[in-house]
Amino acid sequence: MPTIFLMRKEQTGSKLPVKILRIVLKTIAFLLLFVILVFILLLTPPAQRFLTARVEHYLENKLHTKVLIGRISFGLSGKIGLNNIFIADKTSDTLASGGSIRAHINYLKLFSNEVRVTDLEMQNITAKIKRVLPDTLYNFQFIIDAFTSESTKSPDTASSAPMKLDIAKVSLKNINVTYTDVLSGSDMFAHVGEFAARIDTLDPYTQHFVIPSFVLRNSLARMRQTKPLLEPKPLEERINEATTPPSMNVQLGSIVLEKIKIDYGNDVSALYTIADIGQLKTKQRSLDLPNNKVDLENFALNDSKFIVRLGKTKQAQVVKQEVKKETERSVQYINRVCY
């Protein structure tokens, strides 16, 4: 009898690791099934309506302003959509509103601190950016402040690497942007009828951009400059700053502009220009902004007109002289290259 008892005990002990392994595997399988079930439920319209309401409530409490979201949707393929968005600023005026924002995002890349978007589409969006008295901040500053944590405001030296951003294609349709800044005396309205771009490199941290192609059609921009409330810099200094190329690495490929109108007016310097571009097509070999060098493979401009009008103010005369000098330098450069 003692011998039989010992054999049974040894058999029971040998089965213990197998039972533990089965329990662990069943637990993992249950958790995976639970996650899959929750994700599938989130794909259903009722769950997405519930999620939309929760996100809308969270943003209203976070921003302390009116936020409306018609619908948030996403799918297994990585498709994410936002429809009928409205965000008010602190004066209850429209900050952003519009129809739809759609994108395809690689979910797995989010775990490696990277946002990879295969295509981004925005349609029927209106944005109003302004800086008016008595406030000296832009009307979107409260959003930045709301999502800026104390650790971000006072970063330590061991801060994590910035999130990578990768967008392959961008498509915009019927986008309207209004910009008003009473401090600088700037007033602008831009309408983008149709814009499409293919992007190879998009790195805002190092200012490196590679855009093989982009197309802009049926668009316009109106800009007006009035006397600013702040004391402006001398006109010569502003001209030098405007003509100084930015320190960024930009590589462009083919460019197509069709039915583009730009209307610029400066009441301070009495400078008024209108550019009405019917069609412009070009392809660049290289673009060297720091050294003001542009190498074009081809350039075609059709059905276009340009108008420049200068007033009799003192600032206008300074602009006239600067334009004359710049034109002479450009002609000399062309003569050296061609001859």
Nearest Cα residue to 318 out of 243, 245, 234: 234
Long-range contacts of 165-168 (CB under 8 A, 24+ apart): 165/114, 165/115, 165/202, 165/203, 165/204, 166/114, 166/115, 166/116, 166/117, 166/202, 167/117, 167/120, 167/199, 167/202, 168/117, 168/118, 168/119, 168/198, 168/199
pLDDT of residue 18: 64
Question: Is residue 61, in this structure, part of any structural domain at all?
Answer: no
The pLDDT of 130-138, averaged and rounded, is 82
For the segment 32-54, what is each residue's pLDDT rounded down to a tens digit? 776 666 666 666 777 788 888 88
Res 279 pLDDT > 80: yes
Q: Is the pTM for the entire model greater than 0.85? A: no
Question: Is residue 237, in this structure, part of any structural domain at all?
Answer: yes
Work out the pLDDT band at 333, boundaries 50, 70, 90: very low
Higher-confidence position of 17 and 283: 283
Work out the pLDDT band at 306, boundaries 50, 70, 90: very high
Res 121 pLDDT > 90: yes
Question: Is residue 54, in this structure, part of any structural domain at all?
Answer: no
Q: What percent of the chain has pLDDT over 70?
A: 71
Res 5 pLDDT > 50: no
Question: Is residue 209, in this structure, part of any structural domain at all?
Answer: yes
Question: Is residue 42, in this structure, part of any structural domain at all?
Answer: no
For the chain, what is the domain count? 1
The pLDDT of 231-243, averaged and rounded, is 57
Res 207 pLDDT > 70: yes
Question: Is residue 10, in this structure, part of any structural domain at all?
Answer: no
Work out the pLDDT band at 151, boundaries 50, 70, 90: very low
Res 191 pLDDT > 70: yes
Question: Is residue 331, in this structure, part of any structural domain at all?
Answer: yes
pLDDT of residue 329: 56
User: Could you tell me the residue range of the domain that residue 184 belongs to?
Assistant: 73-146+162-338
Q: How far apart are CA 212 and CA 284, in angstroms?
A: 9
pLDDT of residue 219: 96
Most confidently modeled range among 8-17, 43-52, 265-274: 265-274
Question: Is residue 81, in this structure, part of any structural domain at all?
Answer: yes
Average pLDDT, the chain: 78
The pLDDT of 56-75, averaged and rounded, is 88
